[in-house]
Chains A and B, each alone.
Chain A
Amino acid sequence: MPGKNSIVIKLVLVITLCSSLIFAVTLGYNYYRSRILLVKELEGNAHNLALSLVNRVETELSSVTKVTEGVARSLETGRYSESELLSLIRITVEQNPKIYGSGVAFEPYAFRAASRLYAPYYYREKGKITFSRLEDSYKFVPYLYWDWYQIPRELGALEWSEPYFDEGAGNTAMSTCSVPFYGESRGARRLKGIVTADISLNSLTELVSSVKILKTGYAALISRNGMVLAHPLKAAVMNESFFSIAEARNDLSLRELGKKMVKGESGFILYRSLVGVRSWMYYAPIRSTGWTLAVVFPEAELLENVTRLSLTMALMGLAGILLLTLAVISIARSITKPLRSLAAATHLMSSGNFDLELPLVCSNDEVGLLTRDFQVMKESLKEYIKNLTETTAAKERIQSELNVATDIQASLLPRIFPAFPNRPEFDIFASMDPAKEVGGDFYDFFFIDDNNLCFLIADVAGKGVPAALYMMVAKTLLKSEGQRLGDPGQILSCVNTILAADNDSCMFATVFCAILDTRNGEVRFANAGHNPPLTLNSDGIRYLTLKPGFVVGPAEDMNYETERLTLQPGDTLFLYTDGVTEATNVADELYGEPRLLAALQCGPKEDVTALIHHVRAEVTRHADGAPQSDDVTMVALKYRGVAA
């Protein structure tokens, strides 16, 4: 089974991954762009909202400022009795609902010489206008040392005080607008006192807090020194400043933000708000008091719609990809179905089952082509294997037959040595090694009567089975004719005539045939085209000179002349076929006659068996692993003479 590498899984993986990637990138880009657009739009909105709020606060403050300045100018231009002064202050408070309290604080002895300090003050308490004397109300710190008094006095100009809790007089959190007023004294303009009007921070806080932004967004007010004046975090109001919170949280960016606010800058930033939510904030200064107004938009709420839209899109995309995956699986499975059934079939085929039917495919696509080719291949393979099996069987049969033939051929040649243990007059040894399973060389020796030993060596043209068949005939004829005729020349002539009678294939054999008279060492011999034998005697080694005689087999009516030689006791006759001298090595060098002569020279001349083994070993050594190209046959006969 293809498992996790199957085409279906690959296809599904690639398509799903690619479409998921494309979708994710698109969604991400959409979210990113929406967010940028949203923030840009937000900046404008926040700016407008902050400025409108600033304007509303400024309006409230400036009305108070104008009233206060008006009172101060009145005091500078007119002379007011104590009751007139008190009435003026009271009316000011009564007629200006935005003013929480108002008073006039005189410089020491400036109101009358009799009393050092004089500061009447009217304020609202539980809906009624209440009167208080500030020189009496402040038990521990005289009004002269309060900021609302000292700072405008020193600056000589209108001043809004930092918000404070008016302990003793107003008894509420407030900010005071202080305006100094002057009078003529001995020709010089001298400060007479400070006119104050308080606004309750509660009313401002209500104004700021009434602004609702999104769900949890809010507006906040921060004083000139960073003090939190209005904020949903009630505990921080009038207790904490921007810097103390930055310190507590060890938040450098918050501290920097505080610095910018105190400097009166405006800006739009993303930050972690005091309630700990990532938010966008627009902040702008309120010029008259030096305070800062901030509008805060929690980011999550701001992006809520975008996030929800993105989430919806993601869900839709996920469903779409799921659907796509299912579609791909379905299509891929339908496309690969014939391929899979083909693969299953070829898998079985690979294990050798060629009888199996391949799935029927009618389509003309690649799968159809593949299936048809497989069908053809299957048939060819089946045929091929059938042929191979038959050929192999035939080859095995032939091989086993050849092995039997080898044994038969070997058993036909005399191979029991010593061949004539009771004949001390001579020794004879012979060997034949076929190049193939069967050979065309042969030798033979037999007594034709009590004293005459016929011995011969022959080489049939070619080798292998044809040569072996011819050899069988030739050998049989030579033995029967040899025993009948007793003369080498006649033997060869008769055998030739018989062989030539039916020889369309022009097969032939070279034969050297000799008869030894064991009584006197006389050898009569005739040659039919065989290479001359060697004589080994006390004089050395030499080739026998032969009269040419044609090979036996091809032509009828050939005459072979019988020649004679006499062996002295101790002389050896060495017969061989050209398989000896024409044995080649890997370099294609012939063994050759010089090497043969040298081997015989060095060999053990006394023992014919050892001599032939020696020559055979030398030939094998020369061949050095090269395959034997022709049958190697040798016959050695040593005449020992008749025992005295």
Chain B
Amino acid sequence: MEIHTQKEANATVVAITGRLDAVTAPEYEKAVNELIAGGEIAFVIDFGSLDYISSAGLRGLLVTAKQLKGKGGQVRCANVKGTVKEVFDISGFGTIFQMDDTVAAALANIS
């Protein structure tokens, strides 16, 4: 897994490549926690290059969302497609998280 973060005007885009599973989820959590600790409260997670997400990965997303909720921030998911989208759909995460087709759309929807 690789994590690439980019600061945009109103949010930070976190692009995740590869697999987000029990092995790599702690790494993701650590990276995002550092950003949150640095004062970021608006995030767009770019799933465009993510091949696989497991339940541990989903839990990581939940942790992010929960932390931001406490700070009045928000997180949006962009580019969720393929098998990752299937997992989102089956688990019901698709209905809980705010989903956008593109990063640009997600950034535009950040309030």
Contacts and interface: CB of A to CB of B under 8 A. Distances in A.
Interface in B91-108: 91-96
Interface bin, chain A:
20 to 34
Interface string A528-571: 11111000000000000010111100110000000000000000
B3 interface: no
Interface stretch (B5-13, B39-47, B52-60): B52-60
B93 A531 contact: no
Interface in A573-606: 578, 582
Contact of B62 (A459, A506, A578): A506
Contacts of A529: 90-93
A463 interface: yes
Contacts of A463: 22
Contacts of B62: 506, 508, 554
A633 to B, nearest CB: 13
A178 interface: no
Contacts of A505: 63
Contacts of B95: 548, 550
A462 interface: yes
Contacts of A530: 90-91
A529 B22 CA distance: 18
Given A462-B22, A463-B22, A554-B62, A549 B92 contact: yes
A508 B22 CA distance: 14
**Residue among B56, B66, B92 with max Cβ neighbours from chain A (10 Å):** B92
B89 interface: yes
B43 to A, nearest CB: 16
A8 B92 CA distance: 83
A508 B90 contact: no
**Residue among A459, A462, A529, A530 with max Cβ neighbours from chain B (10 Å):** A529
A461 interface: yes
Contacts of A462: 22, 55-56, 59
Interface string A87-99: 0000000000000
Interface string A499-517: 0000001111010000000
Contacts of B93: 529, 550-551
Contacts of A582: 54
Nearest to B60: A506
Contact of B55 (A510, A532, A548, A555): A510
Interface string B45-80: 000000000111011001100100000000000000
Contacts of A554: 62, 66, 96
B92 A459 contact: no
Given A461-B59, A462-B55, A462-B56, A531 B90 contact: yes
Given A548-B95, A550-B95, A461 B90 contact: no
Contacts of B54: 578, 582, 630
A506 B59 contact: yes
B111 to A, nearest CB: 20
A188 to B, nearest CB: 148
A72 B54 CA distance: 152
A197 B8 CA distance: 150
A595 to B, nearest CB: 16
B96 A550 contact: yes
Nearest to A588: B19
A506 B57 CA distance: 11
Contacts of B55: 459-462, 508, 510, 578
A297 B92 CA distance: 127
A459 to B, nearest CB: 6
A304 to B, nearest CB: 98
A301 B94 CA distance: 123
Contact of A510 (B89, B91, B96): B91
Contact of B94 (A461, A532, A548, A555): A548
A548 B90 contact: yes
Contacts of B90: 510, 529-532, 546, 548
Given A460-B55, A554-B66, 10 more contacts: A462-B22, A462-B56, A508-B58, A508-B62, A529-B91, A530-B91, A546-B90, A548-B92, A548-B95, A550-B92
Which 5 A-B residue pairings sit nearest by Cβ, starting from the closest?
A550-B92, A529-B91, A461-B55, A506-B62, A461-B59
5 contacts: A459-B55, A463-B22, A529-B93, A554-B96, A578-B54
Interface of A: 459-463, 505-508, 510, 528-532, 546, 548-551, 554-555, 578, 582, 630
